[in-house]
Chains A and B, each alone.
Chain A
Amino acid sequence: MTARLPDTLPITRGCPYAPPDEHRRLQQEAPISRVTLPSGMTVWALTRHEDIRTMLTDPRFSSDRRNPNFPLLLEGQRLNTDFVPSLIGMDPPEHGPARREVVGEFTVKRMAALRPRIQEIVDEHIDAMLAGPRPTDLVKALSLPVPSLVICELLGVPYDDHDFFQARSSLLLSRTASPEERKRAVDELREYLGELILAKERVPADDLLSRRLAKSDDHEELKSLAFLLLVAGHETTANMISLGTMTFLERPEDIRTIHEDPSRTLPAVEELLRYFTIAEIATSRVAVDDTEIGGVPIRAGEGVVALSNTANRDPETFDRPDELDLERGARNHLAFGFGAHQCLGQNLARMELQIVFDTLFRRIPGLRPAVPLDTLPFKDDANVYGIHEFPVTW
C-alpha cells in the first residue's frame, strides 16, 4: 500500500486541535503502512482504532525500549539504559507480576481517598495565583506544580522537601534547561528518592513507598518505580491541564455547563483526553515474532508506531470524530493506551483534571488568555504534546 506522502512522516501537529494531515491521509489511503520517522528509522504506522487495539493486546509486540529496533521519533532519544527497566518497558512474563505489585495503589477506591488532599493542593495554588501578579503563566502556577505535588503525596515525600522535589522535577521538563542541567536534576532526584526509601524503611508511614517496602527490599527497583511515576504522571497531566483550560476558555458555554452540573466534568475530561491524545508515542512497540495486523504481515524486528491521535478520530469508531463534544464521554479512546500497559495512573489523572477544571473556573470566573491563543508555544516537537507557556489573566 502506498500513499502520496513525504519521504519522512512529519510528526508536528501544527493545529493543536487536529492530527497532522499526513496522518489522516494514511488513515484514509494506507492505514497500515511503512513510514520513515524523522529519526531515520523505517517502521509500520497504524492509524485505525481496531488495529491499534489488536497490536497492543498481542504479546508478540514488545515494549522493551532497549531493543535497537524500538521506534524512536528523533535521533538521540534512546533512553539511558543504566536504570533498572521500569514497568513501562517490561514484557511478559515480567510485566504482569510487576504491575500487580503496584496496581493496588491506583484502584478507583484508593484514588477517591486522595481526593480531599488533591483538592487542597489545587486550592492552595489558586490562592497563590489570586494573590500574585497578573498576567501569570498557568503552566508554572498550576499545570506543573499540581501533578508533581500529587506524586509527592502518593510517594510520601515530606512537606519540607516539596520545594526541592518540585524544582528538580520541573527542570526535567524545562525547555530552557541545558542537557547538563537536566542530567543533574535526574541524578539529584534519583539520589533523593534513594534516601527517601531508606528513610521510609526506618520509619514507615501511610504511603506507597512504605507499603512496597513492607513486601520487598529491592531498593533499585523501587527507585525506578518512583522515578517512573514522576516521569509518567507529571508532564502528561500538566499538559492536559493546560490544553483543557485553553479549550474551556474558548467555550464559555461549556464552562457554564460544568459549573451548573459538575457531573458533566468527567465526561468532558474524557473527551479532552480523546481530542488531544497527547502521548501517542508511548504506545510504540517492536515485533519480536512474526505476526500480522489487519491481514498485513509484520516481521520480527520491525518497529510499529500507533498514531493514536488519528485513530481517536477513526470514523469507524467515533461518530462525528472531529467534533469536540464534551458530553460524549466515551472511554474507548486510546489516550491512555490499551492492553496490559494501559496507563496505571489513569484514574488519578482523571481525578486531577476533574478537580482542576471544577475549581479553576469557579474560583476565577474572569479567567482569560493574556495573549491570542494562536500565538501560544505548543510542544510541537516533544514526545508528549502540550503547551510550554500559557499566560493568563482575570
Chain B
Amino acid sequence: MRIVANTDVCVGAGQCVLTDSAVFDQDDDGTVAVLIENPEGQRLDGAREAVTLCPSRALSLVED
C-alpha cells in the first residue's frame, strides 16, 4: 500500500505527525510530507489511522 497525500487540501493540523512521525512530517509551511511512502506492519496500521484522523481528508492509501 502506498500513501498518497494531497498537499493542496492539507490544513497542517499535524494529526498525521502525531500518529507516526517516522512516516509523516510537516514542512516549514506546515504541509504534510510523507517520509515512508510504502509503510509496512505497524507503520501501515499507523498510516491507516492517520487517514481516518486527517481532518481535511488529504491522505489516502492506494494499492499499487
Using CB atoms and an 8 Å cutoff, list the residues of chain A in contact with chain B: 56-57, 96, 99-100, 103-109, 331-332, 336-344, 346-347
Q: Hey, which chain B residues are within 8 Å of A337, CB to CB? A: 55
Which residues from chain B contact A104 at a C-beta distance below 8 Å? 12, 26-30
Range for the number of chain B residues in contact with chain A: 20 to 34
Known A-B contacts A99-B11, A331-B18, A346-B13; the reply to A109 vs B56 at CB < 8 A is: no
The answer to whether A57 touches B57 (Cβ under 8 A) is yes
Interface residues of B in 24-64 (CB under 8 A from A): 26-31, 52-53, 55-57
- Name which residue of chain B comes closest to A99, CB basis: B11
Q: Which residues of B contact A99 (CB under 8 A)?
A: 11-12
Pick the residue among B9, B14, B19, B57 that contacts A107 (CB under 8 A). B14
A–B Cβ pairs within 8 angstroms, 22 of them: A56-B55, A57-B55, A57-B57, A96-B9, A100-B30, A103-B30, A104-B26, A105-B30, A106-B12, A106-B14, A106-B30, A107-B30, A108-B17, A108-B18, A332-B52, A332-B53, A337-B55, A339-B56, A340-B9, A340-B11, A340-B55, A342-B11
Is B14 in contact with A108, judged by CB distance below 8 angstroms?
A: yes
Task: Tell me the bound Cα distance from A344 to B56 in angstroms.
Answer: 13
Residue of B nearest to A339 (CB): B55
Given the complex of chains A and B, what is the CA–CA distance between A99 and B19 in angstroms? 22
A103 to B55, CA, bound (A): 14
Expressed in whole angstroms, the minimum distance between the Cβ of A339 and any Cβ of chain B is: 6
Known pairs A107-B26, A109-B26; A100 contacts B55 (CB<8 A) = no
Q: Which residues of B contact A347 (CB under 8 A)?
A: 14, 18
Chain A CB within 10 A, most for which of B11, B15, B26, B57: B11
- Give Cα distance in the complex from A99 to B29, angstroms: 10
Q: Are A57 and B56 in contact (CB under 8 A)?
A: yes
A-B pairs with the 4 shortest C-beta distances? A103-B12, A103-B30, A342-B55, A104-B30
Find chain A residues with CB under 8 A from B9 CB: 96, 340
Instruction: A315 to B6: give the CA distance in the assembly, Å.
Output: 31
With CB as the reference atom, state the residue of chain A lying closest to B57. A57
Indicate whether A108 sits within 8 Å of B55 (C-beta atoms), given known contacts A103-B11, A342-B13.
Answer: no
What residues of A have a CB within 8 angstroms of the CB of B30 in the complex?
A: 100, 103-107
Residues of B within 8 A of A103 (CB): 11-12, 29-31
Give A338 to B14 CA distance when docked, in angstroms: 13
Q: Type the 1/0 row for B1-25, where 1 means its CB is closer than 8 Å to any CB of A.
A: 0000000010111110111010000
> Considering residues B11, B26, B31, B55, which has the most beta carbons from chain A within 10 angstroms of its beta carbon?
B55
B residues less than 8 Å from A346 (CB atoms)? 13-14
Please, which residues of chain A bring their CB within 8 A of the CB of B28? 104, 107
Q: CB-CB < 8 A to B29: which residues of A?
A: 100, 103-104
